[in-house]
Structure 1
Amino acid sequence: METRRNITTNTVGFCLLPSELIQYIIANLVLPDIFVLRTVNKFITSVISDRDFVRDYNIRSSSATWLFVYKKRWHRDAMLHGFTDCSNRWFGILIADVLRSVVPPGEDLYFLTAAGNYFLFALNTSQQVISVNPMTKTVKKIPPSPLGRRGTSSWRRSGIKLLSGSDSFRFLFAELYEDYPTLFVYSSDTDKWRSIRAGERETDNEIPRGNIKTESDFIYLSVVNGQSESILIAVGVEDFDRPVVVRPRFDGGGIERFAVGFSSGHTSDRFHVYGDGNMMIVRSDSSNGDTDRRVRMLKGVELWGMSQSGRQWELVSRVPEGLIEEIKKPYGVMMGCVMLKNGTFRAVLMSNYEGVWDIIWLCYDTEEKIWSWVPLPDCKMKNSNMAGITFSSGLTLA
């Protein structure tokens, strides 16, 4: 009873503040907090529902970057954990109730990607893809692509992209189809797929410059990533009809073993993570000289971008040794994802050692040529079953 009285008293006191100050305070909150706050009373709900407030908040929110991690509880509720560079704590987003209407008990879910208020999940048993909007509490089954139903292992993070609007989205992925790099596009407006075979370019001027310093209005989707060569599709953000094949070569491989996107300690000395036309190389070695190769220690992170011609991978920058010393820890397995947005390259490395998950968030300012580290609070996911991690643009008010 005393707690209830304190909440009521604090709410009344907050509502007595000048309206401009109230709007300013709410506008600086992240969306999960706003959703909680708008249930307090009608006055605060009216402030949050005001059209001008919604417009201004969404403009500010669109510049934020979120990191989402999908955590499966064994035979219990599913949980999305989100962290934004505008806050200093993790936010939990329960999605079990939303999923229950379309996901049967025992189904195995994998978190694919996110953009805005839309989150895509792959269902391994039924081999379907669903979109979830936690803000409106809606879920939608996406019809099978022209390639048919696919299990979770068929989706490659570097080969997919989600583009969101206020009430719709487009899902893109790239694959080799009948030996040709092909772009597949789903639109939620039409609920239909399109497939477009990518063409081979005739000159270097046919594609946007792939170099990280010249970010453009083009999307890069990975088709194949080999030890010495990659195959990507470049497509315009607003024009999906003329995708172009790009084949950058990599001469920095040597004879080291490597893995793509996911590294287990006993199989690789480096692994590559691709995204947005860039490549991150993570180099490791045995922990403290231990002969047991199942335990590795991070020793270097490199950022590579495409050359001006798009025909070569070129080294952009290395994470300074001093920063490596701060972030390195022993690990057994590691996964990663990368994103280039507004001139900043963001990378996340998620590793596990003896059941403890550790997340490293790195940023590289392409203008200032400076690396930085975003310390993350403990996500309290020890011994959790992790099933997907991705960067995303800011959440918005409906």
Structure 2
Amino acid sequence: MMETNHEKLSANTVGFCLLPSEIIQNILLHLALPEIICLKSVSRFIADVISDKNFERAYNSQSRSSTWLFVYKKRWNRDAILHGFNDHSTRWFNFRVDSLLKPVICPGDHIYFLTASSNVFLFVSNTRRELLALDLGTKAVKTIPPSPLGPRGTSSWRRSGMKLVATGSGHFQFLFVDLVHNSPVLFVYSSKTDTWQSVEAREGLAEMPRVFQKEGSHVLLDATNGPYESTVTAVGLECGAYNNHAPIVLRPKFNRRPTDGLDRLQVCGDGNMLIVKSNGVDDAGVRMLSDIELWGGLRLNGSWHDWELVSKVPRKIKEQIRKPYRAMRGCLERRDGIIRAVLLSNYDGLWDIIWLSYDTGRSLWTWLPLPDCKMKGLNMAGIAFSSGLTLS
């Protein structure tokens, strides 16, 4: 009689459980969170190991050092899937968030993924014009009350500089900057109080306050991105949360270069900017990537007047990633001295994802090849980096 898949799984589980506990824990510590969650349902023994507080602390400590890239894709009026790729893994993982969001959305509602931090993921409903916060750890979904600017659709959120900051114990803050009467205003939502606060950014300061000079003590949120000048606000953080100091308006500029006739895409985040250059657009609307530059907006011993060129992507990497595209967007983060940027491009229905990292300490670029995300013919409805997911 042929052995069934269920019998094989049971036999493998029994064999795995007979291993020494130290080896079992070491194996589990090398797995991504989606794999851990699946294993919890395999056997009571494995579930007990994963639920152990010592294992949980060890796994969470290790997981926080990893970086995830999340891409949200969907077919119109059909279920959507959140895809996640870990910088220590070799494949994409599927997070079926559509079933978790269904209790708070209408049939046919268009949902867009905005940003993430730890286990918290932020979405926006274009139909209801509401923000939705999903905690993957508890599987709880929360509708965020409208900001002082009122209900906003996806097009409004795509233009604003924003940051989601997990503050522990399942709580988070959501920060975004927008222009109100041509002045940058910071809006901060706290899940702990379920309220918004807003404060107008201060103008005219030549230097950053000392409190902002340590990496991680502030975030930079862009209000406008122009070809030669941007409007950026520096927002102070304290212990991972907004510290109630008024944000500061910064207006870094590019020197005009008359010979620079290249088509440029700017990707901003965390005090840096990635500039993607192409040799213009041909008659078919196609661009070809020609250069990628990293610029820094943070000058610790001077003013915020000009962007400074930090580095260019080496020719060898450019040759490996150079492809034609019709449309491109990206995201950028800086954490622990590493600047990570992702560029997502589309060419005749085919999506391509480029993950680049720059080690500021070693002045070293790396390219992380990604497996196919199988997005042909699908709508890309959001992309973002996040810190490591945790078990609770």
1:5 to 4, 7, 27: 7
Corresponding residue for residue 227 of structure 1: 227
1:158 touches 1:275 (CA, 8 Å); kept in 2? Answer: no
Amino acid at match of 1:325: E
1:244 to 248, 251, 258: 248
2:298 is equivalent to residue 294 of structure 1: no
Are residues 45 and 86 of structure 1, via their aligned partners in 2, closer, same or farther at CA, if it must alter by over 3 Å?
A: same
**CA offsets per residue over residues 81-107 of structure 1, 9 Å max, x none?**
000101010000101111110000111
Shift of 1:307: 5.0
- State how far apart, in whole Å, the 2-side matches of 1:116 and 1:194 are: 23
Shift of 1:293: 4.7
Q: Which aligned pairs between 1:269-308 and structure 2 lie closer than 5 A?
A: 269-285=263-279, 291-306=282-297, 308=299
Shift of 1:240: 2.9
Aligned residues: 382
Corresponding residue for residue 27 of structure 1: 29
Instruction: Provide the secondary structure at the position in 1 that maps to 2:104.
Output: coil
- State how far apart, in whole Å, the 1-side matches of 2:343 and 2:275 are: 11
Task: Please give the TM-score of this superposition, normalised by the length of structure 2.
Answer: 0.93
Are residues 72 and 7 of structure 1, via their aligned partners in 2, closer, same or farther at CA, if it must alter by over 3 Å?
A: same
Shift of 1:46: 0.6
Shift of 1:250: 1.3
Are residues 85 and 205 of structure 1, via their aligned partners in 2, closer, same or farther at CA, if it must alter by over 3 Å?
A: closer
Are residues 348 and 99 of structure 1, via their aligned partners in 2, closer, same or farther at CA, if it must alter by over 3 Å?
A: same
- State how far apart, in whole Å, the 1-side matches of 2:58 and 2:298 are: 38
Instruction: Provide the secondary structure at the position in 2 that maps to 1:100.
Output: helix
**CA offsets per residue over residues 223-276 of structure 1, 9 Å max, x none?**
12222211111111121332111111111554757xxxxxxxxxx811111111
Identity of aligned residues (%): 53
Corresponding residue for residue 385 of structure 2: 391
Amino acid at match of 2:254: F
Instruction: Provide the secondary structure at the position in 2 that maps to 1:150.
Output: coil
Corresponding residue for residue 170 of structure 2: 167
Query: Does 296-305 or 170-179 show the bigger shift?
Result: 170-179
Shift of 1:125: 1.6
Instruction: Provide the secondary structure at the position in 2 that maps to 1:334.
Output: strand
Shift of 1:295: 1.3
2:271 touches 2:298 (CA, 8 Å); kept in 1? Answer: no
- State how far apart, in whole Å, the 2-side matches of 1:284 and 1:158 are: 25
Instruction: Provide the secondary structure at the position in 1 that maps to 2:362.
Output: coil
Instruction: Provide the secondary structure at the position in 2 that maps to 1:47.
Output: helix
Amino acid at match of 1:163: V
Are residues 171 and 307 of structure 1, via their aligned partners in 2, closer, same or farther at CA, if it must alter by over 3 Å?
A: closer
1:335 touches 1:349 (CA, 8 Å); kept in 2? Answer: yes
2:183 is equivalent to residue 180 of structure 1: yes
Amino acid at match of 1:80: L
CA RMSD of aligned residues (A): 1.8
